[in-house]
Amino acid sequence: MKLVKDFLWSEGMSVEALVDSLGSVGYQATELSEAVKVIMKMKRTNARIFLTFTSNMATSGLRGFFAQLCELNIPNILVTTSGSIEEDIIKSLGENFEITNFNADDVSMHERGENRVGNLLIHTSGYMKFEDKMTELLEKIYEKKKRISSSELIYEIGMMLNDNNSVLFQAAKNNIPIYCPGIADSSFGFQLYMFQQKHPDFVVDVIKDMERITVDLSFDEKKGLISLGGSISKHYAIFAALLSGGFDYAVYLTTSHSSSGSMSGATTQEAKSWGKIKDDGEAATVIGDVSITFPLIMSSVLEKMKKEGLLK
C-alpha cells in the first residue's frame, strides 16, 4: 500500500522532482504525477500520440508550448477546434493578446473594440488583420486546389505562416496532421463561407478527414491520448481510436466533472464502456486548470525523456 508522504521543498528542485514528489501527496497531486507515468509509457512503447485541445488553450500562452511540442515530435496527431486555428494565425500576424481580469467592465471593453476570454483580452483589430490574411492565403490555396480536406487546408496555411511559435507552422513542418472537425465554427469558418461566395467551386471536405484519420490508425500499433478539455476535439480522437481497437493509454486534463454527462467531463472509465479505451488501458485524469497542470506534466515528461534518450 502506498503511503502519504509530506511534500518538502529542496534547493534547486527540478520540475521532474517536484512532480514525482506530488505522487505521494494525494488528491489531484497524485493524479498529476500518474499522468506523467502514463505519458512516459506512451513514449517508451512508441505509441501514436493524439494531443487534443480546445481554442481557449491556444488563446493562452500554451499556444507556443504546443508548437514546441510539435517541434520535438511529442504528439503525432493534433485535434482542435476552429478557434485555435484562427487565433494561431492572428498571433502569427504579430498581434499580442493581453491579460486583464475576470471582472473587467465588458460593456466598456466592447466599446473600445476589446474582446474578453476569461482574463485575457483580444483586440478586434486583430480580427481585421486576420480577415485580410485569410483572403490572401485562401486565394493561393485555391489556385492549387479547388476541393480540399480540412487537414490539408490547415497544412497549407501552416506552411505559409513561417512562425516558429505557430502550432500550424510547426505541425506542418514536422508532418503532424491537424484535424478540425468543427472547422465551420468561429471567424475562421465565416471566412471560408465568405470566400466560397466568390468561389462557389471551392469546397472544404470535412468528411474526407474521417477517412484519413481512421485509415491512418491500425489495430496493431499502440495508441495514446492526451486530451486537454473536451468537446468535439476530444470526441473526434476517441471515436477514431474506437474503430481501431481503442486507446492503450489516455490522460485527461479537465475542469469538468462527469455529473453533467458531457464529453468534457466523461471519465476514462466511461470511455472503456464504449471501447474507446481498451479494457486494460492505462489512464489518469487530472481535474484542474490546464494552464497549470499541462506545463507541469509535460515539463516533467520532457526532463525524463531527455534522461532516457527519448528526446530528439
266-290 in b/e form (b: 16+ CB < 10 A) is bebeebbeeebbbeebbbbbbbbeb
Residues serving a catalytic function are: 276
CA dihedral defined by 305, 310, 311, 312, rounded to 10 degrees?
A: 180
Separation between Cα atoms, residue 210 and residue 216, nearest integer Å: 10
Alpha-carbon distance values, 73 to 45, 80, 294 (Å) = 15, 17, 17
